[in-house]
Amino acid sequence: MSKTLVEMTAEIIQSQISGSSMNTDEIKAALHHTYQTLKELQEAEAVGGGVEEKDVAPSMDPKRSIRKNEIVCLECGQSFKMLTKHLKSHNMTSREYRKKYGFASRQSLCAKALSDERSAASKERGIHPNLRKSIAERAGKSKKK
């Protein structure tokens, strides 16, 4: 006996929840999105045609996808410490991802804790001599004007 769309949706979301922490709103959005996708696939299968790809709203607010210890991929809902390599599985660049979801072009696509660790390590190492030289040259040029 085949499963209903509701049963399949529930199983998919249960496995997703077991792998990452999601709040109630995220679970509701994921349930709705998964059910709609399964329904579209079922209808396309019945008709015998392909599924048209359309702009689908992300399963969560893009601003809330970047968390302290993880970043949630708005394409598939999986959590990572860093998204750049994962985006290749969606055939996207980080630039395309930022543009699609409205992030600033300089927004880091990694967990806040990882970004803070890198920042602290960079500050601890100090300014690289070549960068220091470049800054000094720029300061000298602006004073001459």
First CA to last CA distance, the chain? 81
In angstroms, rounded to a whole number, what is the distance separating the alpha carbons of residues 104 and 110?
14
CATH class of 59-145: mainly alpha
Q: How far apart are CA 109 and CA 103, in angstroms?
A: 9
Any idea where the domains of the chain sit in the sequence? Answer: 1-57, 59-145
pLDDT 10s digit of each residue in the chain, 145 long? 478 888 888 888 888 887 777 788 888 888 888 888 888 888 887 776 554 555 555 667 788 888 899 998 888 888 889 988 898 888 899 999 999 888 898 888 999 999 899 888 888 888 788 888 888 898 887 666 5
Please state the pTM of the whole predicted model.
0.50
Q: How far apart are CA 80 and CA 73, in angstroms?
A: 8
DSSP 8-46: HHHHHHHHHHHHS---HHHHHHHHHHHHHHHHHHHHHHH
**41 Cβ contact partners less than 8 Å away, ≥ 6 residues apart:** 51
